[in-house]
Structure 1
Amino acid sequence: MSNKLEQLKAMTTVVADTGDLEAIAQWRPVDATTNPSLLLKAADLPTYRPMLDAAINYAQQQSGSDIETLAHATDYLAVQAGQKILELIPGVVSTEVDARLSFDTQATVDKARHLIALYDQIGVDTSRVLIKIAATWEGIRAAEILEKEGIRCNLTLLFSFTQAVACAEAGAFLISPFVGRILDWHLKQSGKTAYPAAEDPGVLSVTRIYNYLKTHNYNTVVMGASFRNTGEIEELAGCDRLTISPALLEELQNDKGDLARQLSPETAASAESKLMLPERDFRWGMNEDAMATEKLAEGIRKFAADQVELELRVQKIAKVA
């Protein structure tokens, strides 16, 4: 009998939630996704040092202020990492826009175009790149513009049905609803130590989103993310894509049990009418969802802090060099 990871791959596209090139080479996912936190961890790995040096060298050849030079370096590092990852996988890689731009539509669009131009400059097929943007109102509007230009987007830090509907209406290629961080919030609020997998608030959120989007024939891909345990993954088996950490991939590989499909386009059923979400309704929906509001803000702060730390790391290396 095949293990649960192989069974999952038969019904869901498995994405590696890591920037570690050795881990990606080991697990051979179809796609991979990165963010500033993952790049910060990867920057400590020996395989990344040549890329850091190349990024610093590239940035020093560009004109601009010290702040702009750091942005050039971290952008180039992210693109180099994406290029290396694409050499190991058959699918796409997600590269994230600086989280500090999450409330600026035009700046997000400009940064996305710049990242795509860098990929093109180093010879990467840009159809294999997704631009990762926080699912704020401004980020969703940026994605709407970019999608019309043929730049496909991955809307991340997505915690609510409201965000998912707005992203689908904007024509986003892919959304990354977070499972584990939703669970974290509910555990803290309820005082519970655990939920049964089938009752996990994060699992229920993604299931609702998936069923709604499939029922109303949106093309937006649903990719569950941020898992805390394999039980959450198993309850979402059949979802379009799932992005999974190496540790949980290993657990699934070592489990020889049966894995039942839980989600499919054929059986998806939502009793909810199709919604249109103008800005006022989006903001009201977020206002009424304390979990989504808190986790979105927390996620943006964390990614922004890791981006700053990555810049400091690059700055330190540049001075030593």
Structure 2
Amino acid sequence: MASKLEQLREMTTVVADTGDIDAVRALKPVDCTTNPTIVLKALGTPAFAGAFDEALAWGRRQGGSSTGVANAVADRLAVSVGSALAELVPGRVSTEVDADLSFDIEASVERGRRIIADYEERGVPRERVLIKLAATWEGIRAAEILQKEGIDCNLTLIFNRTQAIACADAGVFLISPFVGRIMDWYAKSTGKTYTAEEDPGVLSVRSIYDYFKSNGIRTVVMGASFRNVGEIEALAGCDRLTISPALLSELAASEGPLERRLSPERAEKIEPIALDEASFRWAMNEDAMATEKLAEGIRSFAKDLRSLRGLVEERLAERPAA
């Protein structure tokens, strides 16, 4: 019998949530997603030593303040990781707009444009890239502008169906509703251990999927942030699932039938909801979990971005090798 990973590939586009080159070669995902945490980890491996040296050499040729140059080098490195992944996967690579721009529409749009320009300079067309933004109201508005310019976006840190609906209304190409982080919050809040069928994160993604499919919404639903293979199996059939190498390997080693749990034909009908900024912000205010996890996620990515920039600034200050 085919492994559960092979069976999953038959019903869902499998995406790797990693910057690990060796894992991508071995597991052969269609797409790859990255974030500042993944980029920082990838740049600590031998595979990206050359890219780090190239970016530092480029940075030393730039003018401006040391902080500004370090930030530009960090931006260049994020695209270096994405470009390396794009050579290995047939689909798309997601690269994240700086988390500290999550509440700045204009700056997010400009950063998204620069990411695309950097990829195109390296020979990676925009059709192979997704600009990843946090699903704040401002992030969604930035994505709406970028989508109209032909730049496809991946809206991340989605914890509430309201965020997903706002993304669909903005014409966003893809959304990443989180599973494990939702479950983490409820497990901590209630002290309960959840089965896959009870898992609040699984139920959240199913609700978003049903809303989109029953209303003819084309935005791709990509479940993310998994804690165990049970959550993945419970979402088999979702448009896409972005999965860590460890869980991909576990699925590859697992046998037994894998039941399709989501399909457009079986989507529960959910009436469409009209949203404006006030109703979006009120819905988020009423959902303590979504509000807390969105803020926590932005802070976490911003922290890792600061770590990357700090590392770059230290390396730039070193005397280059002769």
Q: TM-score w.r.t. structure 2 length? A: 0.97
**Residues 31 and 90 of structure 2 are in contact (CA less than 8 Å); yes or no, is this contact kept in structure 1?**
yes
Instruction: Count residues in correspondence.
Output: 319
Q: Which residue identity does 1:186 align to in structure 2? A: Y
- Report the 3-state secondary structure (helix = DSSP H, G, I; strand = E; otherwise coil) of the residue aligned with 1:184: helix
Q: What's the counterpart of residue 274 of structure 2?
A: 276
Tell me the alpha carbon deviations over residues 81-114 of structure 1, each in whole angstroms, 9 at most, x when there is no partner.
1111011010000000000000000000000001
In the TM superposition, residue 234 of structure 1 has moved relative to its aligned partner by 0.2
1:1-321 equivalent positions in 2, closer than 5 A? 1-192=1-192, 194-270=193-269, 272-320=270-318, 321=320
In the TM superposition, residue 314 of structure 1 has moved relative to its aligned partner by 1.4
**Residues 58 and 76 of structure 1 are in contact (CA less than 8 Å); yes or no, is this contact kept in structure 2?**
no
In the TM superposition, residue 318 of structure 1 has moved relative to its aligned partner by 2.0
Cα distance in 1 for partners of 2:11, 2:236 equals 7
Q: Which residue identity does 1:257 align to in structure 2? A: G
Cα distance in 2 for partners of 1:267, 1:61 equals 57
In the TM superposition, residue 317 of structure 1 has moved relative to its aligned partner by 2.0
**Residues 174 and 222 of structure 2 are in contact (CA less than 8 Å); yes or no, is this contact kept in structure 1?**
yes
Tell me the alpha carbon deviations over residues 189-208 of structure 1, each in whole angstroms, 9 at most, x when there is no partner.
0012x201011000000000
User: Greater CA deviation, 90-99 or 45-54?
Assistant: 45-54
In the TM superposition, residue 243 of structure 1 has moved relative to its aligned partner by 0.3
In the TM superposition, residue 56 of structure 1 has moved relative to its aligned partner by 1.6
**Residues 169 and 276 of structure 1 are in contact (CA less than 8 Å); yes or no, is this contact kept in structure 2?**
no
Cα distance in 2 for partners of 1:146, 1:64 equals 28
**Structure 1 unaligned spans of 5+:** none
Cα distance in 1 for partners of 2:10, 2:251 equals 13
Cα distance in 1 for partners of 2:78, 2:162 equals 30
Cα distance in 2 for partners of 1:265, 1:70 equals 46
Cα distance in 2 for partners of 1:165, 1:155 equals 11
**Residues 58 and 72 of structure 1 are in contact (CA less than 8 Å); yes or no, is this contact kept in structure 2?**
no
**Residues 229 and 248 of structure 1 are in contact (CA less than 8 Å); yes or no, is this contact kept in structure 2?**
yes
Structure 1 vs Structure 2 CA RMSD: 0.9
Cα distance in 1 for partners of 2:166, 2:252 equals 36
Cα distance in 1 for partners of 2:119, 2:253 equals 37
Cα distance in 1 for partners of 2:51, 2:126 equals 20
**Residues 70 and 316 of structure 2 are in contact (CA less than 8 Å); yes or no, is this contact kept in structure 1?**
no
